[in-house]
């Protein structure tokens, strides 16, 4: 099903593409010696997973995922690249091999760029999917480091990226918990996250970037109730509370360390908001907002989602917009490749603090 495109949105993405391209070239030129040495280690969920999600589970391995890049499903929860890919480009390296790929022997020589341990749907704690949570992901990393000590896996240019927690909240609400218990949940999530960050640091990673929570209420999953015209204030308030506690905890970690910039918060909330023009009162934004909050790929009805196929008739039960390059969101939860391009441009200065 074809969507109307916004000229201003297209102009925005075009300008952002130029910025990212110039930024990546600049970083690569200035840090050419690091390009071959910098190792990127990634932990978390679908926002940074580049192919660990099991193929047998479908989802990101089904059509139409990956139609923009690389042209077929690659395990990324998008039509193309995700946050990991753009971070790698900004710091002047390549997106690292996935842990699943390395274990299966698919890319034996590409570990020189680091490794991605992130699994879609996972969280700090166990979630609704039976995949490795962050603690287990770090266990994999620790085993990997111990096995590869003679290969100088960790060096002075090693950095880590963490994107996690959204699925912890989703699991909490799916289990019929109440708003009253949220402060305790957030405290537990942040405390465990801090512990996990310290573990990664002790394993030799020089700097660590931790994503703040995106404005949850702006995800199509929640914006659909307002016909994609508004973000949900309730979910956004939850994200703001989480982010406040996260920033305070990371500031404390840096104050306790010799280098006060070891840990960097990547502010997804403001990056999403800026990309969606939410720095202005959303009620004053014109109807073009619908094209920003509405997903490019969605189920033909609420019973279906992007990528679903009728098991009996084998007919597709989803529709894809006519121009993925004009969409900010790919599906009900995840940004499109161009969405991530816009977001990463707003994160650029924070990302460069890691280099």
User: Which position among 79, 85, 168, 331 bears the catalytic label?
Assistant: 331
How many whole angstroms separate alpha carbon 61 and alpha carbon 85?
17
Among 219, 215, 236, 214, residue whose Cα is nearest residue 298:
219
Instruction: Please say whether the beta carbons of 276 and 293 come within 8 A.
Output: yes
Structure tokens of 165? 């927690």
Q: Which of 46, 158, 273, 275 is catalytic?
A: 46
Alpha helix ranges (H) inside the chain: 7-30, 32-35, 83-91, 99-103, 134-147, 166-174, 182-202, 220-223, 233-256, 268-275, 289-293, 337-352
Q: Which of 242, 334, 338, 346 is catalytic?
A: 334
Query: Is 331 annotated as catalytic?
Result: yes
Cα dist from 238 to 37, 248, 304, 343, whole Å: 39, 16, 27, 20
Cβ atoms of 78 and 334 within 8 Å: the answer is yes
Return the active site residues.
46, 331, 334
């Amino acid at each position: 099903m074809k969507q109307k495109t916004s000229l201003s949105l297209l102009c925005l993405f075009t300008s952002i593409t130029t910025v990212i391209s110039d930024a990546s070239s600049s970083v690569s030129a200035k840090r050419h010696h690091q390009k071959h040495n910098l190792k990127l280690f990634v932990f978390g969920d679908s926002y940074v997973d580049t192919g660990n999600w099991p193929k047998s589970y479908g989802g990101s391995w089904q059509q139409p995922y990956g139609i923009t890049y690389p042209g077929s499903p690659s395990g990324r929860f998008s039509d193309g690249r995700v946050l990991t890919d753009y971070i790698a480009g900004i710091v002047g390296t390549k997106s690292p091999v996935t842990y699943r790929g390395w274990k299966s022997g698919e890319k034996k020589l590409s570990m020189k760029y680091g490794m991605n341990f992130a699994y879609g749907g996972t969280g700090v704690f166990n979630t609704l999917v039976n995949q490795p949570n962050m603690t287990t992901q770090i266990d994999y990393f620790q085993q990997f480091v111990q096995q590869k000590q003679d290969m100088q896996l960790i060096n002075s240019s090693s950095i880590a990226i963490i994107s996690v927690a959204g699925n912890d909240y989703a699991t909490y609400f799916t289990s019929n918990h109440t708003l009253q218990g949220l402060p305790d949940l957030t405290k537990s999530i942040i405390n465990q996250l801090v512990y996990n960050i310290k573990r990664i640091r002790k394993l030799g990673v020089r700097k660590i970037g931790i994503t703040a929570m995106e404005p949850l209420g702006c995800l199509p999953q929640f914006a659909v109730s307002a016909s994609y015209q508004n973000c949900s204030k309730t979910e956004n308030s939850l994200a703001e509370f989480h982010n406040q506690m996260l920033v305070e905890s990371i500031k404390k970690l840096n104050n306790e360390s010799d280098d006060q910039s070891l840990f960097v918060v990547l502010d997804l909330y403001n990056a999403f908001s800026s990309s969606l023009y939410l720095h202005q009162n959303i009620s004053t934004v014109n109807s073009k907002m619908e094209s920003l909050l509405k997903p490019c790929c969605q189920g033909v009805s609420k019973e279906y989602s992007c990528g679903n196929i009728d098991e009996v008739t084998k007919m597709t039960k989803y529709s894809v917009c006519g121009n993925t390059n004009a969409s900010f969101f790919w599906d009900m939860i995840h940004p499109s490749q161009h969405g991530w391009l816009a977001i990463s441009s707003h994160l650029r200065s924070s990302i460069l603090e890691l280099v």
